[in-house]
């Protein structure tokens, strides 16, 4: 009866997903989809953002273990954009066109940019991309305040278009002054995760975490890997973070597009090796911004991300300003589930070589034992084809079990609401909040009744019960053991 493991999908909120009842996310996205959370970005209207956040929190609280994570993208990060134009400017191939750091310029051959060091960051011969490559220009020369270009691929230049230089990252800080305002908003509203844009090194992650500690804020940090500068520092960036997002739009603008699939796989593997959750994002169902059905290539893109064992897949413009936000979520749900149904027998498990060596040498600690135990618990559950039940106060064992990708659901019961919300991002984990009793058997009985009432299990079925941890819930010392228990209505 228990479902196979599931990837998570994250929806962006925006104009297209406003509620008709006063400005929150569209009810259907929270009520009918299986999204675990929402990518939420604070805009200019603080009251509206507060109402949206309240509605999202209310909706998430109604779905025990199915929803609960709000991922907040803090501001826009170091984005370079063109200025406002009264009407679109049509750029033709071979045409000369200029970008200037002077404010308020908008003519047929010149527009402003919002970044004062733009001239210093580009050189003659660079390729300038508009909106991730929808248009491209070659930099021919520059003056003290203007970059002179020749149009390679033309199109309509509208207001505030995103600009990238192929192979280069802007020298703007990853967290701007406006972003710090958004961070404080998130602290005040107890956001679950921050997603930090254009992270170039681990320093910005440490800086943000230091600030959060000073605020006594229990918020985790997701790094968006989307700049050329982040790739050489990938290991230290992921190590410093609590998870990563493969933001393929800007990544494919700053680096050759043929490298993006390879980098996606590398980032997923890097996160898996460090037991950090990873999200694959951008352009997954781009055509559904304007059309009710996706392209077949987009469907394949979702399937590839699932097969590469990402923890979550994400929608952005499709739900933020697309015409068919709910349909997009349903398509992602259906494709992910269908793909996962074919994976259980072919999934490659992470290798335990370092933990095995530690045990053989006698130089091992509690974490090595926990890793070995989680691996063997997964193997046992898969062998007998049973779902896993784990009780956790910190989430550590549920995360370890997710790392080894069991074929069935991990029902992670916790008495900590923040842990429940955090675990919702991990692949295969169904986190459920439930107060623990001092009696282990009573707690197990209540957990079984919860799963039976939720129709996750049937009476008479069997489950794999995992009790483990360096800080055991019902014992004074560290304990590791697995039981196969029959489900009996209490």
- Quick count: other Cβ atoms within 10 Å of Cβ 413? 24
- Quick count: other Cβ atoms within 10 Å of Cβ 15? 9
SS3 4: strand
- Position 372 scores a pLDDT of 83
- Quick count: other Cβ atoms within 10 Å of Cβ 350? 17
Among left, alpha and beta (phi > 0; psi -120 to 50; other), residue 362 is left
SS3 6: coil
SS3 184: helix
Residue 240 half-sphere exposure toward CB, CA atoms < 13 A: 21
Sheet of strand 135-142, all strands in order from the earlier edge strand to the far edge: 80-81, 162-165, 127-130, 135-142, 146-153, 96-100, 110-112
Tokens of 137: 């220009």
Q: In the chain, count H helices and then E strands.
A: 16, 22
**Are 312 and 284 in contact, with CB atoms under 8 Å apart?**
no
- Position 473 scores a pLDDT of 65
**Are 419 and 394 in contact, with CB atoms under 8 Å apart?**
yes
Whole-angstrom Cα distance, residue 205 to residue 123?
Answer: 30
- Position 47 scores a pLDDT of 54
- Position 18 scores a pLDDT of 38
- Position 3 scores a pLDDT of 45
- Position 168 scores a pLDDT of 82
For the chain, give the number of residues.
Answer: 490
- Quick count: other Cβ atoms within 10 Å of Cβ 278? 27
H helical segments located in 189-309 = 203-214, 234-240, 248-254, 260-273, 296-307
Residue with tokens 């282990």: 440
Q: How far is CA 141 from CA 123, 155, 233, 408, in A?
A: 7, 22, 31, 59
pTM tops 0.95, yes or no? no
Residue with tokens 């091992």: 364
- H/E stretch holding 23: none
Domains of the chain in start order, with CATH, are 8-77+175-340 (3.20.20.60), 80-165 (2.40.33.10), 353-486 (3.40.1380.20)
pLDDT beneath 50: ranges in the chain: 1-4, 15-25, 31-36, 48, 64-66, 345-346, 353, 358
- Position 14 scores a pLDDT of 53
Whole-angstrom Cα distance, residue 355 to residue 351?
Answer: 9
Interior angle at CA 175, CA 171 and CA 179, nearest 5: 135
Residue with tokens 């192929």: 166
Report pLDDT digits (tens) over 289-338.
Answer: 999 999 999 999 999 999 999 999 999 889 888 999 999 999 999 999 99
**Are 487 and 445 in contact, with CB atoms under 8 Å apart?**
no
Residue with tokens 């994400």: 314
- Position 279 scores a pLDDT of 94
């Amino acid at each position: 009866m228990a479902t196979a493991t599931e990837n998570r999908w994250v929806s962006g909120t925006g104009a297209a997903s406003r509620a008709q009842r006063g400005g929150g996310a569209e009810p259907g996205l929270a009520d009918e989809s299986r999204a675990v959370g929402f990518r939420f970005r604070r805009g200019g209207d603080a009251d509206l953002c507060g109402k949206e956040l309240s509605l999202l929190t209310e909706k998430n609280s109604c779905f025990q273990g199915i929803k609960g994570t709000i991922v907040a993208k803090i501001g826009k990060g170091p984005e370079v954009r063109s200025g406002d134009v009264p009407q679109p400017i049509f750029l033709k191939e071979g045409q000369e066109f200029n970008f200037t750091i002077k404010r308020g310029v908008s003519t047929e051959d010149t527009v402003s940019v919002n970044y004062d060091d733009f001239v210093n960051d580009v050189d003659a011969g660079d390729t300038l991309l508009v909106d991730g490559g929808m248009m491209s220009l070659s930099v021919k020369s520059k003056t003290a305040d203007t970059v002179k270009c020749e149009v390679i691929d033309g199109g309509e230049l509208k207001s505030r278009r995103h600009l990238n230089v192929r192979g280069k990252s802007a020298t703007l800080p990853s967290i701007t002054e406006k972003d710090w305002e958004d961070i404080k908003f998130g602290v005040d509203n107890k956001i679950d995760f921050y997603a930090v844009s254009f992270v170039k090194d681990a320093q910005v992650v440490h800086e943000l975490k230091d600030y959060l500690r000073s605020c006594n804020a229990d918020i985790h940090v997701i790094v968006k890997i989307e700049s050329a500068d982040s790739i050489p520092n990938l290991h230290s960036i992921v190590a410093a973070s609590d998870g990563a997002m493969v933001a393929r739009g800007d990544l494919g603008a700053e680096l050759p597009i043929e490298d993006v699939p390879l980098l996606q796989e590398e980032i997923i593997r890097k996160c898996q090796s460090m037991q950090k959750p990873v999200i694959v994002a951008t352009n997954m169902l781009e055509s559904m911004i304007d059309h009710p059905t996706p392209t077949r290539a987009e469907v394949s893109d979702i399937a590839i991300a699932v097969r590469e064992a990402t923890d979550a897949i994400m929608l952005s413009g499709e739900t933020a300003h697309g015409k068919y936000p709910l349909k997009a979520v349903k398509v992602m749900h259906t494709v992910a589930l269908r793909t996962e149904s074919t994976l259980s027998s072919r999934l490659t498990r992470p290798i335990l070589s370092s933990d095995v060596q530690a045990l053989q040498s006698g130089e091992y600690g509690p974490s090595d034992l926990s890793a070995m135990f989680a691996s063997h618990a997964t193997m046992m559950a898969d062998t007998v084809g049973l779902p896993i039940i784990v009780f956790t106060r910190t989430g550590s064992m549920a995360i370890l079990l997710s790392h080894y990708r069991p074929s069935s659901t991990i029902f992670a019961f916790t008495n900590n609401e923040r842990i429940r919300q955090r675990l919702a991002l991990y692949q295969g984990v169904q986190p459920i909040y439930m107060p623990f009793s001092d009696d282990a058997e009573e707690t197990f009985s209540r957990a079984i009744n919860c799963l039976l009432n939720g129709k996750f299990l049937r009476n008479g079925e069997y489950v794999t019960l995992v009790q483990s941890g360096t800080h055991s819930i019902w014992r004074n010392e560290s304990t590791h053991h697995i039981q196969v228990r029959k489900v009996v209505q209490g």
